[in-house]
Amino acid sequence: MSTTVGSVTLPNPVMTASGTGGHGAELDAYLPLADLGAVVVKSLSADPWPGNPAPRVHATPSGMLNSVGLQGEGVEAWLADDLPALVATGARVVASIWGRSVEDYRRAADALAAAPAAVVAVEVNLSCPNTEAGRDLFAHDPEATAAVVAATAGCGRPRWAKLSPNTPRVAEVAGAAAAAGAEAVTLINTVMGMAIDPETRTYRLGAGERGGGLSGPAIHPVAVRVVHDVHRAHPDLPIVGVGGVVDGPTAVELLLAGACAVQVGTATFADPRAPARVAADLEHWCRRRGIPGMAELIGGMR
């Protein structure tokens, strides 16, 4: 079940997704975090950030719309207050960072240079739509993406660029991220959406006209398509697939499309044990079919 994401070796290809498992060891009460490929923590900025006004979450027929807005305590507080308990579980940790400017990203990455060895990679979140940037994301522009990735080298760890499905240029952006130093790309972040209450004629989310990000099973076909297209355009670029993974078969879809690992996100809100359940289901799926290892699945479309 082992796999590699660039220079990072994981015991299995299933991780949590940023923003869905907390900042630290919150999920350890439900599953042994050390048994996952890695734990990807909620995105952190260089400074504390309050996030968006409530309400922040709205259920949809096949997923969830959220406008949490990247609330967080900042990298320095996370290193002191949350990371020690997570490291104590034996988990491999992927830190996630975000910023409103290139300098913000640089500061967040530099602050991670002192993190312990359990932090095996840094996911550079270029694509969250739940901020005042709205539709104008770093991940929508190859040059802006390259500038951020280049600025984050100070973390001293492999970087994975988390990109947006909300642009037709995603393959071009992925190439720019790799050229600037990203070892891998994470595909995809949420799809821009909105919900309106028919009775009150008001927005259902506190972010108002900015809307929120749609996640869950509703976006799984979008994730499969983006992973497929980026893998075809950049066959040597490692991809972490995320979007609507709920069981072994949905994980396999992303692996066949070209991902070398997957993340489980929205499913965790309904079942905190979902990442472990997906990992076990994936292993069972492979054993029943006599598949000897992940290499046979990754990019294995016929």
In total, the chain counts a number of residues equal to 302
Beta strands in 179-242 (DSSP E): 184-187, 191-193, 196-197, 202-203, 212-215, 239-242
Active site annotation includes 128: yes
Of 128, 155, 260, 286, the active-site residue reads: 128
Using DSSP, state whether 61 is helix, strand or coil.
coil
Rounded Cα distance, 248 and 258, in Å: 16
For residue 258, give Cα distances in angstroms to 152, 277, 280, 295: 26, 22, 21, 10
Distances from the Cα of 175 to the Cαs of 139, 142, 163, 221, 236, in angstroms?
Answer: 12, 8, 11, 22, 11
Tokens for 3?
């796999």
Which residues are tagged catalytic? 128
